[in-house]
């Protein structure tokens, strides 16, 4: 059986009273992508504390600092190498086997870029740490052959987003996928069927290890949905109710009034609710049936939908 890791991009918002967010998070998931390291270098004391807060078998992946990819754009300079070596030290303390590098969309990698990446990684001497390289704005089929060769020579993992239909440019023993979905940025909630498709792609590939990092706006809930599906073969309900009562629960979380039909669809249409215990649908499927007018509260919305269904 392949190693299958399900987690999210960070733990800061996983709040349970009386528990450190990371300790609480590690009770629910077996893997996390440390996202904060992209923005700020932590102290080694902080990193050591992260490792102490989780069980021995809990796994970290580390997102490389933006100085490497966005500021110095993979140039093999002393500053870039220093940042990469620092990330290497963080990985060692966390016992993290994967270091994630994400290039900015404006960085178009070519043969010369591949050579510089080769020099940088060789100089850093990462040892057993694997780079998961996410190349923004370039399809797998369009990657330069020189770059693919460098990636393969260094045992890199081509990081892709399975929820957007992406596939790695070459076969690897490890799949690393960061899931953002088909909405704007990460404002999206995957249907049950979409998660089944993601799981199918991950499970059917010839991978020894699969690591999934959820980044949807409701990443913890959606990661938990897939985890429960893997364990039981069924998806859990999203709310305590079904039908219009479930939609009411979803809108009650953060909908603001007064508002219009169009604003409701734009701000909340991407969300899922439980039409039945076994069927999730998007809020937009019902909100689109509303008459065009201003709504002053949720009760007006639900009452209008109830009358529409008659």
Chain segment 181-233, per-residue pLDDT in tens: 999 889 999 999 999 999 999 999 899 999 999 999 999 999 999 999 999 99
Q: How far is CA 27 from the centre of its chain?
A: 19
Q: Which helix (H) or strand (E) holds 105?
A: none
3-state secondary structure of 230: helix
Range 3-11 average pLDDT: 97
Range 262-279 average pLDDT: 97
User: 51 and 151: one domain?
Assistant: yes
How long a stretch of residues is the chain? 310
User: 226 and 268: one domain?
Assistant: no
CA distance 212 to 5: 6
Q: At 41, phi and psi to the nearest 5?
A: -75, 120
Whether the predicted pLDDT of 308 surpasses 60: yes
CATH number of the domain to which 89 belongs? 3.20.20.410
For the chain, the first-to-last Cα distance in angstroms comes to 51
User: 78 and 154: one domain?
Assistant: yes
User: 31 and 178: one domain?
Assistant: yes
Q: How many CB atoms lie within 10 A of CB 242?
A: 16
CA distance 216 to 271: 11
Q: Which tokens go with 144?
A: 């330069």
User: 254 and 208: one domain?
Assistant: no
Q: Are 270 and 189 in contact (CB under 8 A)?
A: yes
Whether the predicted pLDDT of 2 surpasses 90: no
Q: Which of 200, 232, 264 is the last residue of a domain?
A: 232
User: 305 and 190: one domain?
Assistant: no
Q: What residue numbers bound the domain in which 287 lies?
A: 244-309
Domains of the chain: total: 2
Whether the predicted pLDDT of 18 surpasses 90: yes
3-state secondary structure of 239: coil
User: 188 and 249: one domain?
Assistant: no
pLDDT value at position 185? 87
**pLDDT grade, residue 310 (50/70/90)?**
confident
Q: Are 161 and 177 in contact (CB under 8 A)?
A: yes
Residue 117 placed within a domain: yes
Whether the predicted pLDDT of 1 surpasses 70: no
Give the chain's mean pLDDT. Answer: 96
Q: Nearest to residue 139, comparing CAs of 109, 179, 178, 181?
A: 109
Q: Which of 232, 264, 298 is the last residue of a domain?
A: 232
Residue 239 placed within a domain: no
Residue 238 placed within a domain: no
What digits encode the pLDDT tens for the residues 54-89?
999 999 999 999 999 999 999 999 999 999 999 999
Residue 237 placed within a domain: no
Residue 42 placed within a domain: yes
CA distance 19 to 144: 47
């Amino acid at each position: 059986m392949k190693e299958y890791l399900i987690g999210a991009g960070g733990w800061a918002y996983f709040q349970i009273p009386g528990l450190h967010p990371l300790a609480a998070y590690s009770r629910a998931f077996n893997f996390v992508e440390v996202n904060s390291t992209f923005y700020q270098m932590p102290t080694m004391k902080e990193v050591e504390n992260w490792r102490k807060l989780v069980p021995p078998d809990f796994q970290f992946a580390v997102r490389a600092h933006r100085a490497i990819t966005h500021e110095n754009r993979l140039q093999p300079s002393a500053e870039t190498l220093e940042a990469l070596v620092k990330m290497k030290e963080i990985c060692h303390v966390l016992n993290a086997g994967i270091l994630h590098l994400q290039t900015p969309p404006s960085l178009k990698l070519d043969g010369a870029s591949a050579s510089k990446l080769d020099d940088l990684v060789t100089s850093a001497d990462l040892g057993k740490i694997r780079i998961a390289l996410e190349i923004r704005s370039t399809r797998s089929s369009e990657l330069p052959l020189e770059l693919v060769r460098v990636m393969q020579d260094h045992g890199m993992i081509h990081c892709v987003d399975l929820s957007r239909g992406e596939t790695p440019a070459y076969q690897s023993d490890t799949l690393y996928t960061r899931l953002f979905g088909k909405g704007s940025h990460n404002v999206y909630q995957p249907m049950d069927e979409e998660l089944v498709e993601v799981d199918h792609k991950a499970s059917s590939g010839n991978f020894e290890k699969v690591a999934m990092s959820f980044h949807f706006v409701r990443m913890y809930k959606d990661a938990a949905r897939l985890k429960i599906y893997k364990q039981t073969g069924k998806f859990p309900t999203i709310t305590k109710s079904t039908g219009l009562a479930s939609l009411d629960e979803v809108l009650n979380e953060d909908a603001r009034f007064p508002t219009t039909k169009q604003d409701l669809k734009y701000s909340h249409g991407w969300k899922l609710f439980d039409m039945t215990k076994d069927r999730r649908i998007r809020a937009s499927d019902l909100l689109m049936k509303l008459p065009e007018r201003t709504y002053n509260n949720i009760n007006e919305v639900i009452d209008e939908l109830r009358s529409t269904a008659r």
